[in-house]
């Protein structure tokens, strides 16, 4: 909800359909997660993950509320969105590794595979529901209220964290503070040419291909002349492809580099096809294939 409302606010209210501004927002929001990786990984390893998550979730909700109030009051400016997106990116940088590793604290090693699968399912389900719901809210009452509703949704997370029984958690032993997991990871990858190739492939696809908030929003506004509701639905439709891909991957005993290469090729072809689709329906169907 936050991402759809934020992109739509920038694209249609604060600029005249500026794709560059949406790109800046994406850079400010996701750049800190890469730049702060050594610090955030250390924090997830050595701090109490439950209370770290409480702090990051509460702050994320507060940032969403601030942007919502600025939007509703009519005081919001582009630099406000830039600043709040950057702050949210910094908070998300600490939240993501803590949230992903907290799964093992909740269930322990025995049930971890099932918990990871359930976590992935809920994540993709949210990606299908959230954008479409945000589009409806934007059409009905405006971007500001979408931010406010998103802020209120964080209350359920905070209450859940408070209600957890700490005696039933399975805390993982903290690693040695003198050993850097990040450096160990680089050393391991340096010894694996296959992993290096996969990471380079991921880098190029992520950098030049996975910029869907820009693609979808500008196609929606400039090419198809649609509205926020359509933008939200298109964003949700993409998650269908993610769910299908996850289920197909789950059926394979181990990764196959041939399949990965064919998938990368299919992704490239799908993006090229999406660029020339004549209407919203055909564009949405092709976007399913990209994910």
What is the per-residue pLDDT for 253? 56
Residue 63 lies inside a defined structural domain of this protein? yes
Residue range 240-273, pLDDT digits in tens: 877 777 667 656 656 667 777 788 888 889 888 9
Residues in contact with 291: Cβ distance below 8 Å, sequence separation at least 6, in sequence order = 238, 239, 240, 241, 242, 245
Of 130, 38, 32, 37, nearest to 84 by C-alpha is 32
Residue range 208-247, pLDDT digits in tens: 877 887 888 888 888 888 888 898 888 888 878 777 776 6
Residue 291 lies inside a defined structural domain of this protein? no
The size of the chain, in residues, is 291
Residue range 69-83, pLDDT digits in tens: 999 999 999 999 999
Residue 176 lies inside a defined structural domain of this protein? no
Residue 225 lies inside a defined structural domain of this protein? no
Mean of pLDDT values over 33-45? 84
pLDDT at position 151 over 80? yes
Residues in contact with 120: Cβ distance below 8 Å, sequence separation at least 6, in sequence order = 246
Q: Which of 7-16, 49-58, 215-224 has the lowest mean pLDDT?
A: 215-224
CATH of the domain at 23: 1.20.1250.20
Of 57, 67, 228, nearest to 133 by C-alpha is 228
Query: Do 1 and 137 contact (CB within 8 A), yes or no?
Result: yes
Residue 231 lies inside a defined structural domain of this protein? no
Quick check: pTM over 0.85? no
Distance CA 54, CA 159 (A): 9
Residue range 187-198, pLDDT digits in tens: 887 888 878 887
Query: Do 28 and 86 contact (CB within 8 A), yes or no?
Result: yes
Residue 54 lies inside a defined structural domain of this protein? yes
Residue 254 lies inside a defined structural domain of this protein? no
Structural domain count, the chain: 1
The residue among 130 and 115 whose pLDDT is bigger is: 130
Domain that holds residue 18: 2-165
Residue 30 lies inside a defined structural domain of this protein? yes
What DSSP assignment string belongs to the chain? -HHHHHHHIIIIIISSS-HHHHHHHHHHHHHHHHHTHHHHHHHHHHS-HHHHHHHHHHHHHHHHHHHHHHHHHT---HHHHHHHHHHHHHHHHHHHHHHHHHHHHHHTTTTHHHHHHHHHHHHHHHHHHHHHHHHHHHHHH-HHHHHHHHHHHHHHHHHHHHHS-GGG--PPPPPPTTS-HHHHHHHHHHT-HHHHHHHHHHHHHHHHT--HHHHHHHIIIIIS---HHHHHHHHHHHHHHHHHHHHHHHTSSS--HHHHHHHHHHHHHHHHHHHT-SSHHHHHHHHHHH-
């Amino acid at each position: 909800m936050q991402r759809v409302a934020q992109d739509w606010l920038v694209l249609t209210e604060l600029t005249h359909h500026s794709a560059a501004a949406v790109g800046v927002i994406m850079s400010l929001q996701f750049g800190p997660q890469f730049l702060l990786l050594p610090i955030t990984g250390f924090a997830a390893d050595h701090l109490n993950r439950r209370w770290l998550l409480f702090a990051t979730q509460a702050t994320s909700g507060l940032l969403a509320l601030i942007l919502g109030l600025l939007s509703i009051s009519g005081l919001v400016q582009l630099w406000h969105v830039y600043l709040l997106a950057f702050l949210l990116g910094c908070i998300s940088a600490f939240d993501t590794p803590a949230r992903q590793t907290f799964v093992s604290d909740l269930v322990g090693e025995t049930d971890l595979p099932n918990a990871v699968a359930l976590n992935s399912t809920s994540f993709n389900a949210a990606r299908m529901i959230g954008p479409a719901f945000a589009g409806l809210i934007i059409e009905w009452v405006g971007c500001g209220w979408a931010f406010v509703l998103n802020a209120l949704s964080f209350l359920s997370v905070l209450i859940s964290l408070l209600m957890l029984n700490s005696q039933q958690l399975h805390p993982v032993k903290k690693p040695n503070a003198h050993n850097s997991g990040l450096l160990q990871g680089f050393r391991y990858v340096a010894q694996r040419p296959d992993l290096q190739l996969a990471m380079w492939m991921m880098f190029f696809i992520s950098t030049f291909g996975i910029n869907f908030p820009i693609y979808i929003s500008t196609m929606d506004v400039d090419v198809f002349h649609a509205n926020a509701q359509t933008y939200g639905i298109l964003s949700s439709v993409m998650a269908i492809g993610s769910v299908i891909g996850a289920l197909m991957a789950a059926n394979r005993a181990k990764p196959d580099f041939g399949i990965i290469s064919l998938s990368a090729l299919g992704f490239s072809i799908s993006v090229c096809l999406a660029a020339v689709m004549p209407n919203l329906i055909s564009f949405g169907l092709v976007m399913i294939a990209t994910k």
